[in-house]
A and B are shown apart, each in its own frame.
Chain A
Amino acid sequence: MKHRPALLVTSDGELFRGHSVGADGIRTGEAVFNTSMTGYLEVLTDPSYAGQVVVMTAPHIGNYGVTETDAQAGRPHVSGFVTRAMSRRDSNWRSEGSLGDYLVSNDVVAISGVDTRRLTRHIRDRGAMPIAMGSEATEGELREAAAAAPVMSGQDLAGKVSTREEYTVRSAGETQGTIVAIDLGIKRDILTNLTLRDFDVVVVPYSTPIARILDLKPDGLFVSNGPGDPEPLHVTTETIRGLIGKVPIFGICLGHQVLGRAIGADTFKLPFGHHGGNHPVRRMEDGKVEITSQNHGFAVDLWSLVDEDIPERDGLVGSELLPERVSTPYGEVLPTHQNLNDGTVEGMRLLDAPAYSVQYHPEAAPGPRDASPLFDGFVDAIHKGVT
């Protein structure tokens, strides 16, 4: 098969060869690997991937083509896409076209035939790092580009993907009220999950001031997922701080991290993040395990709110790796979920105000939907209201 050669260079100088299966040109971004075996279109279009080049560990990508309704946004958001074997033939009754065509027409630079396992192991061992890739570029050009590419930390990427204009999505049935969703890069399936539960959702820009949000008379406030580092999101953090206790709040992913920062916790960068559909998360209340869909590079550090020293991990992850509860200016906060691979916080709840959040994706898309009842929890919280 005749291919147009393409190259990928990491910021620490590793070279990977493949061939172009997308648009032309050079792209840079932070390389992260995703271990989901299905759901490539959801991944490509997830705004949380802004600024990142996604390496799929599953070798065959594109098998079942592209189906618009699976997309999580109107366009792809990844900076680049890397696979081992891009399918030229798609086969599925739902398919509306091939992934290759989709990538080209959406100007996504994609490279296939790459030893993605070697690249994944490199990222795992050295941490997520900037890379440069492209088809009509020399190795030298790419090395320079990779070296010049910015790191994730400190970048305000949510600002780039958040909606400019406020817009409303109507509830599927008889409306029960209004949810204001602060858009840090919201996925379509989250909106669907809310509207299916019969709420109108007003999606507002990430910098929307408290006053405007209150004007909308929200019955609930949702803080969405989104790309990159929560640290630079000062405005959003302030907004949420101001609304704690005034309206039931539910945050997902970046929204969870922002809520964390709002109550005074630190956030930190994980070595290579969690990106996939098989992460075990323990529900602290009953010890049950959910298999979750995840996509984040940063995490909330609840230990930053207590002055004990962090316990050593020995053997499998246990609940002792999280503080039992932490006290904040907004009252006691309870860690509600824990990642069983690395022990990090996957969810928390304020005890004195209706506000809670999860680090992972109950809307899945892609991935298991074990955690979708969390949306019902939000609905209940809304019905209870603020007391």
Chain B
Amino acid sequence: MPARTDIRSILLIGSGPIIIGQGCEFDYSGTQAAKVLRQEGYRVILVNSNPATIMTDPEYADATYVEPITPEVVTEIIARERPDALLATLGGQTALNVSSTLARTGVLQRHNVEMIGAGLEAIEKAEDRGLFKSTMEEAGLECPRAGYARSMGEAMNIARDIGYPVMVRPSYILGGGGTGLADNEEDFIAVARYGLEMSPVSEILVEESVFGWKEFELEVMRDCKDNAVIVCSIENLDPMGVHTGDSITVAPIQTLSDREYQDMREDAIAVLRAIGVETGGSNVQFAVDPETGKRLVIEMNPRVSRSSALASKATGFPIAKIAALLAVGYTLDEIANDITQATPASFEPALDYVVVKIPRFDFDKFPSAPRKLGTSMRSVGEAMAIGRTFPEALQKALRSLENGHSGLNAEPNEEGLRQLSEADLGRRVVEPTPDRIFAVGEALRRGWSVDRLSELSSIDPWFIDQMAEIVEVRHELVDDPSDMALLAEAKRYGFSDVQIAYLTETTPENVRSIREAAMIRRTYQRVDTCAAEFVARTPYMYGTFEEESEVVEAERPRVLVLGSGPNRIGQGIEFDYCCVHASFALRDAGYETVMVNCNPETVSTDYDTSDRLYFEPLTIEDVLDVIDAEKPEAVIVQLGGQTPLNLAAALEAAGVNVAGTSSTSIALAEDREQFSEICANLGLRQPSGGTARSAAEALDVVDQVGLPAMVRPSFVLGGRKMRVVYSVEELGVYVREIYGDADPEVVGAPILIDRFLESAVEVDVDAVFDGSELLLGGIMEHVEEAGIHSGDSACVTPPPTLSGEAMKEILKATRDLAAALSVRGLINIQFAVKGDEIFVIEANPRGSRTIPFISKATGVLLARVATRVMMGATIEELRAEGMIPEHTTPPFVAVKNAVLPWDRFPEEDSVLGPEMKATGEVMGIGEDFGTAYAKALLGGGRILPDRGRVFVSFADRDKPTGLAVAQAFVMLGFELVATPGTARYLSHHAIDAEVVPKIGDGPDDVAQRLDNGEIQLVINTPRGGKARTDGRTIRQAARGHQVPCVTTVRGGLAVARSLRAGPGAINRPRSLQEWHR
């Protein structure tokens, strides 16, 4: 059947902010869908609150709503746009949940909007665990024994008759949120209670545990003629009990015989039919008992997912794009396979390589959370690698993660493992953690048997034996470093030059030249969906060590764009957004574009984005090899965040032309002394500061700069381990934490100490500099005061409180710094404004997190402008080209708000600080700040009360400024309750607040009141740096009851202003196209 003509316009719902369990894979899928649906001539209406997405670039839809994805707002959008159809299956759980609400509440029917892809019934059958199981049973498919409960009582009974261990899962939850395993009744009570709280419908499923079984996943596509294909099969290296999203996964399946695989294939298709997914992609998860082969259905998602993005990148089969086409009536055999162009999409990709995905974790940022992996997803990103064999792919994936590993051990930092006692090592093999794989590697090095390790870890012996082969090659290489055949073998096993250098006691550079001499060169093969059976038209490549390379000559000059690698806190989708725009800008300027990246979730690794895609790790070795193969004119390192930036120096050293700002300038900005000198010369203020190499020195520095002080170790970036200390005692504690008992001189890592600018206004600036002219991207004023990491703080543009003077000064400072650092391209600067004094906090000569936000606000595609400038164009020329409009001030107030992963780390204190913890961001757009901020809060999932009781508790230093907040809430008609100190202070200033005892000081303390549901909002600013305080307990209690909790004074004020805006304004959506008209 050709495309449907009875529908003309389609509403596409995105997935909102990046959160754990819902990453940028949904920008990849949404962008593909929007693109292809417009090509098919449909009017596309899109809603997504996440400004850092490509899909929300106005060119991808006819009407783009950067608005909160709530039933109310989407209802409004439907009323305004009157779409004929709603495609709910491409925006993750968010889109699915909102859509089913709209269907259930009759909104869709009222505006006669048809759900295409998956209908309400299918969604409910798949999402409601109870319904799902009964559906499976009817279809003759087996699930783990289970029952579902709406109360603790019910839960206990079910658990008892299933028998422990059991698994608990809330209904309507993604990423395993609120799930858990319990071995006994005691654990169970905790897990079950939390699960019931987490579930929006307070319903949990209590299920037989199959911990330790093998876990598999199949990606299925089905069309309206009931044609079904398996696009990709995935095997988890980590067994059942570790969330798929947190597991190392392998495609295709390696340890099933054809009979078992075909049985699973038929089950998967049967699941889709039973659930009733009319068209599109779904993933079905299975558990298999390694002893008996018994197979259970675990779950299915009736939508594209994280794993379907992975599957698309792993096979070259664009699931989301095809799902969109199927939704409008095409059948698989009517759609061409993009890569061969001669064969249809109605086939099952054949792989002649192995794909390994490894999740990336940021546990260091959440020290209170145990590093253990379980059924609730904790990873913040992932890297994917393609190799001809599993060992090669595994080692490539490990070095793609960028967390200090160059492969499976065989590197300097394996020392720690070598020190471990046998017992400790055993423990690390047993317990699933992000580092378990390295423990297994070390155990193999020590000669532990494959069977023993498989026994301990429940990892399939086949995978462990493959790792054993890696270790054998390692030993052989050590025995005879001069054997070139061995060296070649090692490269085929995925060893990096860094590992080989370590094993053969030389330098990576030397290994490289030895390889060159011995002609051991990387070859590039194509991901072609068909194992070379047909000619591949699309240059989607991966590197390996085979006998011929499939790189073809280019017609046009090439420019290489280096991506940003796996998502992590501090470096996420924003940077991929910039890289994608770089590629587009270069294409438009007539270059052939080459993208290098290893993040499967992204738009940059869509083979449609650039002329050529290299799915490779972003290490100097891998990147230089791609450069040797492609010989680009220039390499873009400015837009992928710290990852490519860290390669700049080495690239230039290797004679590569780095586009724009040179590595020396980059170093200049990062070197504290030199940067301070530059500021001094330009007459720019910086917080007074100094460097300490011992506790004593630290005290001296503090004597000079004064307290409070901002302290951080010089050796960590990204705000890691940064802290504000208010007293000499706190300073002492901090110094001890950093150095322990080690002698700082030996550690050789000084502590940087700055005067902490209290209650200062922080400002972010993004700009492009071409050597003479500066194009201001925008000035963003932070909502939270300086001291809250720029990535965690909300920010506003245009700046509401900055004076014209301040703005001028900031603009001048930006220009001066850009010139002094001889920037060609982007620069991002953070200032702190205190009174009429302006301080420079830091300058980054690169694309920043705020580029997408500011581009959406102003309509200027900064990343594109910057790319052209890096390639030599002047801003004037680009203005002439029409790339830069005349006036670039937004026609509205735009607020960016950070989204934090507290629900994944219940153990962690939800207080904001100088170390970034946000996983994503949302944008709120409105006529005034109140509305914009309210939308930004709502978009981030913060539902604010419009009446009730506010609990206020200010640290002493915040009491003066806190007054205004208290006042504001009183005027909004809220009642105040406060801790004794705060209450006393308020009453002194004629604001009365009911006194509640501090935690433990009485029967009716705050926690108690929260339990009773008597408090609707908490404003609690942290006292000092002490880890365990009442504040923490209160914040945690608030979180437990989903009571919004504000931890800064300015944040409190902003909330008050947003409440003043009222719900009316929030639910008045407007498309970017309308705003910028």
Contact = CB atoms under 8 A, between A and B. Distances in A.
B258 A70 contact: yes
Nearest to B547: A115
B343 to A, nearest CB: 5
Interface in A355-387: 364-369
B546 A118 contact: yes
A287 B225 CA distance: 9
A282 B293 contact: no
Contacts of B1075: none
B257 interface: yes
A126 interface: no
A121 interface: yes
Contact of A117 (B253, B465, B546): B546
Contacts of B352: 35, 57-59, 84, 116-117, 120
A369 B263 CA distance: 9
B969 interface: no
Interface residues of B, number: 63
A210 interface: no
Contact of A118 (B347, B466, B548): B548
B255 A91 contact: yes
A321 interface: no
Contact of B350 (A35, A67, A116): A35
A39 B258 contact: yes
A118 B524 CA distance: 12
B100 to A, nearest CB: 30
B389 A93 contact: no
A90 B462 contact: yes
Interface centre among A91, A116, A369 (most CB of B within 10 A): A91
Given A59-B389, A93-B290, A42 B548 contact: no
A291 B259 CA distance: 16
Given A316-B334, A368-B348, A38 B261 contact: yes
A175 B106 CA distance: 57
A369 B262 CA distance: 8
B842 to A, nearest CB: 47
B187 interface: no
Contacts, number: 175
Interface stretch (B125-133, B237-245, B530-538, B924-932): B530-538
B351 A288 contact: no
B257 A60 contact: no
Interface stretch (A136-144, A149-157, A161-169, A272-280): A272-280
A91 B348 contact: no
A266 to B, nearest CB: 25
A70 B262 contact: no
Nearest to A341: B343
B265 interface: yes
A160 interface: no
A276 B258 CA distance: 12
Interface string A293-323: 0000000000000000000000111000000
Given A59-B352, A89-B450, A289-B227, A341 B333 contact: no
Nearest to A58: B352
A42 B252 CA distance: 19
A287 B388 CA distance: 37
A85 interface: yes
Contacts of B233: 37
Contacts of A316: 333-334, 336, 342-344
Interface in A1-58: 1, 16, 33, 35-39, 42, 57-58
Contacts of B818: none
B422 interface: no
B645 interface: no
A193 interface: no
A341 B253 CA distance: 25
B293 A94 contact: yes
Given A58-B351, A366-B258, A282 B531 contact: no
Contacts of B533: 33, 35, 57, 120, 124, 276
B344 A340 contact: yes
Contacts of A328: none
A117 B344 contact: no
A57 B350 contact: yes
B462 A1 contact: no
A88 interface: yes
A88 B466 CA distance: 9
From B257, B260, B466, residue with most partner A Cβ within 10 Å: B257
Contact of B255 (A39, A63, A276, A315): A63
B255 A64 contact: yes
Contact of B266 (A59, A120, A369): A369
A63 B333 contact: no
Contact of A89 (B462, B472, B530): B462
Nearest to B350: A35
A37 B252 contact: yes
A94 B292 CA distance: 8
B667 interface: no
Contacts of B525: 117
Contacts of A59: 352-354, 388-389
B518 interface: no
A178 interface: no
A30 B225 CA distance: 39
Nearest to A93: B293
Interface in A313-362: 315-317, 340-341
Nearest to B468: A89
Contacts of A278: 347-350, 530
Interface string A96-121: 00000000000000000001111011
Interface in B248-275: 252-262, 265-266
A217 B596 CA distance: 68
Contact of B473 (A1, A57, A60): A1
B460 interface: yes
A266 B71 CA distance: 64
A119 to B, nearest CB: 9
B344 A291 contact: no
Contacts of B635: none
A92 interface: yes
A368 B350 contact: no
A224 interface: no
B390 interface: yes
B472 A60 contact: no
A257 interface: no
A87 interface: yes
Interface in B453-474: 460-462, 465-466, 469, 472-473
Interface in A207-241: none
Contacts of A315: 336
Interface in A171-218: none
Nearest to A286: B225
Contact of A120 (B265, B291, B390, B531): B531
B76 to A, nearest CB: 42
Given A16-B547, A116-B352, 9 more contacts: A37-B253, A63-B255, A87-B465, A117-B525, A288-B226, A289-B346, A340-B346, A368-B262, A368-B348
18 contacts: A1-B469, A1-B489, A35-B530, A37-B252, A37-B253, A38-B257, A58-B352, A63-B462, A87-B466, A92-B260, A93-B293, A117-B525, A117-B546, A276-B350, A279-B347, A365-B258, A367-B258, A369-B266
Closest 10 A-B residue pairs measured CB to CB?
Answer: A39-B258, A89-B465, A57-B531, A366-B258, A35-B350, A91-B462, A38-B258, A278-B348, A57-B352, A115-B547
